Structure 1
Amino acid sequence: MTTLNDKLIIKTPKNIYLEFELAGLGSRFLAYLIDTVIQLLLAFALIYILAIVFGILGAALNQVSLASSWQLALVGIIIFLIYEGYFITCETAWRGQSVGKKILNLRVVKDGGYPITFWDSVIRNILRVVDMLPPLWVIPSYGLGSAILLANAQSKRIGDYVAGTLVIKEKPASGFEHFSALHINPEYIRHIKIPFAHRIDGIEYYLLREFFYRKNLFPPDERQKMAQKLAIHIKKTIKLDPDTYTNDQRFLDDLMLLLESKRG
C-alpha cells in the first residue's frame, strides 16, 4: 500500500493494482456537517415526541412535571443512540457511506480497499468520542481527530487506525452507479446464468466494482488484459468452470449486473 499526492495505490494479493483518491479534511468535514444536521433533526423530533408523551402522562397522574432523572437519562440515551446508530446503520447498509458521504461521493473502506463490515463501523464510530477532544465548553472541537488526520499521509483519524479503515473519494454517480440504476433490465437479468455468483463478496466484489468504474479509462488492449486477469481470478474464487464465458468483459459486466440486481 503506497500513498502518493493524496492517492492511495494498493496491490492486491493477485497483483492487481487499485488506485484511490483519499478524502481530505475539508470534504470529510462537509459530509459530517450534513450528517450532523440530519441527526439534530432526528433528535429534536424524538425529544418533541417524548415531551408530548411526558406531558400527557404528567396530566394523567396529576403531576406538574415528569422530568425525573430517569426520563432525562432516557433522553440522553436516545441522543447517544441517534448519534452512534445513525453512522453505523448508514455505513453498514450503504457499504461505507452516510447521507453526507453519499452527497460528497465519499466512502469508508478497509485498508486493503474492500468494503467495511458492521464491526468495523462500530469501532470507528464509537471512537468518535476520542476524536472530539478537547471540548469547547459543551461543543466537541474535534481538535485531536483533526490534528491526527492532518498529520498522517492517509488522512486517518483515531477510529480509522483502530478499525483499519480509511475514507476515499469516489467518482460521481455518472459512472457505475448511474449505469446500474438506469440500465438493469429485469428481462435481461433473468437470462444471466452464472452459477455460484452469490459467493462473490469482500475483495472480489470490490475489484469487480472498481473495474466497472474505471474500465473505459484504459486503452482497449490494456482493458482486455485487466478483464482477463480479473475474470480468471473470480472464476477460480467461486469455483466456476473457466469456459462458462469466453468473453471476459461480458462475463464481468453480466456478473456485476446480476449482483447489483440482487443487492437492490
Structure 2
Amino acid sequence: MTLGMRKHNVDPRPHTPWAFVFKGPPGTGKTSTAKKIGRIYYDMGFLSTDEVVACSVTDMIGQYKGHTGPKVLGLLDKAIGKVLFIDEAYRLAHDGESFQSEAVGELIDAMTKPRYARNMVIVLAGYTGDMERLMGTNPGLMSWFPTHLEFPHLDPDNCLAHFRAQLSRFGIQIPPRSWTMGPGADAEMLDLEGTREDVLGIVGGVGLTISVDEVLGALREMLWDRGGEVPEQEEQEGDKQLSFSFADVSKPPEGLFFSWDQNVA
C-alpha cells in the first residue's frame, strides 16, 4: 500500500498510525510486537532505525515542579526516528497528581509539533482495564492514540503450540508420544500451584522473571546432554528426534535459576 501511494505521489505518512495503545497482561507479546512494528516502519522508510526505546513512567516524571516537562521531551528526543515504548503507562493516570498530568500534557503537546509528529512511533502499554481508565483521564489521549491492540492471555494449548514451534527453531522435534499428557507425575508437575511453589522454593521466595530464551536455552542444553540416552533401537529405525516427557523437566537443569545470597534481606 505504501509503495502504491508513493507511485501516485501520495504521502503515506498522514494515513499511517503512529501512536498505539497495547492492552494486556505481561508476557503476551506487547514488547515483541513493538519491535516488529519498528522493523516494519523501518522497512517502509518511515523510521531511521528499527530500535525500540523502552521506558517506564518513572523515566518521565520529575521530582519537583517543572522537572517533568524536560524529562518527557528528553525521552522524545532520544526516540526520534525510533519506537518509544512506554511500559505500565497506566501510571500516567494522574488522579490529582500534578506531575502525571504534566507528563500527559507534555506528551500530547509534543505530538502536535513537526519535530515529533510522524517522526517516531509511540506505544503506551499496560493492563487492559488500567489503560482504559488512563484514556478516560484526558480527551486528548483518545484522539491521539486511536489505535488499540488487545493482547489476551494465551490458553494452554496455544502456549504449548508456541513452545513447540520455538523448539523447532533449534532442530528439536517433540514426538507425539511425548506431546500428550503422560502419567500422573506429569499432571502434578504441570499443576500451576505446585509449579509456583517449586519455583519459589528454588529462589528462596525472591521475585524472578525468566525469559523465553533462557528457558529454551537451558532446555536445549539439557536435551542435547541427554541425547545419548535414546535407545539404540530408535537410532537404528532412523528416529533422529530428541524425545522427552514433561516428567523429564520436573527438575530444572543447573544454571536455569541463579542462586541467591541467603543473607540478602
Question: TM-score, normalization: structure 2?
Answer: 0.23
User: Which one has a larger percent helix, Structure 1 or Structure 2?
Assistant: 1
